[in-house]
Amino acid sequence: MSPSITRARREPFGAWIRLGDDTLVALDHRRADRLGLPPATFPPGHVSAPLEVHVAVTARCPVDCSGCYQSATTDGAHVPLTQLRKTLRELHASGVFTVAFGGGEPLLRDDLGELADEARSLGLTPVVTTSGYGLTPARARALRSFAQVNVSHDGVLGGYEAVRGFDGVAVAERAIATLRAQGVAVGVNHVLTRQNVHGLSATVDHVRSLGARELQLLRYKPAGRAASLDYLARRLTPAQCDALGETLRSLSPTLGDGFSVRVDCALVPLVSGALPDAAMLERFGVFGCEAGGHLGSVRRDGSAGGCSFDDAPGDEGIAAFRAFVAAPPEPCASCPLRRVCRGGCKVVSRHLGHGFSSDPECPRVIAFHAVSASP
């Protein structure tokens, strides 16, 4: 039996549809018409709503990760439930498909399961990221409305402690086991730094053995407590970036049988030297920075942003993301990966003093400026 359609949104290219198994599918006009989706007209300059929005639900966390992008604290405030309900209604009305709850530590909210239930009732697909602290079997059962719960696990071989400043491996792995025992789909978020990238293959094998169905690789970004001089000591080295493409290819034998590895949009420029074919990346669903496009965020104060790491002012920041993608400078303007990479991470470029510009850590950008500077 084919999955049912739970949500649909017409687009200038055709439509997006959400299936009953939470799969998101793009359709051309012919297929959208065959499904009987109501036609729509779009004014000049139409900008579609994001497909996914990250919503901050708390500034509180029981631990003090050295690289926390939200600078969460043990006494941070929860976002009021009334505000979050209003946000969910607004996201539903705008046509958003997925809402990703983050913190702080979302598990510190007793109403987290209630928020997921409310999102489902509106036709939104909820997901959440957690460290696992405070998770009990009863709490896990309350999270069954989430399409997936991602547990932060930054690696074996000492990788977790190297990234976060404390060893939370046991907590993360207990959370994975608890969620699986309660029938909750589990993924793993893995932040890559120069201190843990060497253990990536071992980490992939390990989290797969624990029952995670997905590993999401995330770039270490200079936001929150990570926006310090320490960032320069934790970001991947140029040599590690050069090797990253081959490292990812080496993971291929571990994939399949319900397990996958996803690449954070901000990592795409770092592997651009090893993955020169944009068409190939598109076939595998690999895309760069979607901030202000398919991706959006709602901050703790209720304001909108391009992504959860970005602190640029509301509409102004979102407009800046879109303007860059529409007309990037060189070398992005003539890069064969432009339509996929979208210029890299603006959180990185702004932190390093380059403003909304080409990602200064991209190997192609580094090579371009090296040639430009040569006599």
260-311 pLDDT, tens digit each: 999 999 999 998 877 667 777 776 677 899 999 999 999 999 999 999 998 8
This prediction's pTM? 0.94
Calpha distance 288→268 (Å, rounded): 5
363 falls in which pLDDT band (50, 70, 90)?
Answer: very high
pLDDT in tens, 131-159: 999 999 999 999 999 999 999 999 998 99
CATH 3.40.50.970 fits 52-263, yes or no: no
The pLDDT value given to residue 1: 47
DSSP 279-295: HHHHHTT-----BTTTE
pLDDT at 279: 75
Which pLDDT does position 281 carry in this prediction? 73
Q: Are 64 and 226 in contact (CB under 8 A)?
A: no
- Pick the more confident residue, 355 or 178: 178
Residue 3: pLDDT over 50: yes
pLDDT of residue 104 exceeding 90, the answer is yes
Sheet holding 24-28, edge to edge: 5-11, 14-19, 24-28
213 half-sphere exposure, CB direction, 13 A CA radius: 11
Q: What percent of the chain has pLDDT over 70?
A: 98
Beta-carbon contacts of residue 145 (< 8 Å; ≥ 6 apart): 113, 116, 117, 119, 120, 126
Cβ–Cβ contacts within 10 Å for residue 119, how many?
25
| Mean pLDDT of the residues in the chain | 93
Predicted confidence (pLDDT) at residue 372 exceeds the cutoff of 80: no
Cα separation, 343 vs 29, whole angstroms: 29
Average of pLDDT values for 55-66? 94
- pLDDT tens-digit series, residues 204-255: 999 999 999 999 999 999 999 999 889 999 999 999 998 998 888 888 887 8
Q: What's the rounded mean pLDDT across residues 79-107? A: 98
CATH 3.20.20.70 domain extents, the chain: 52-263
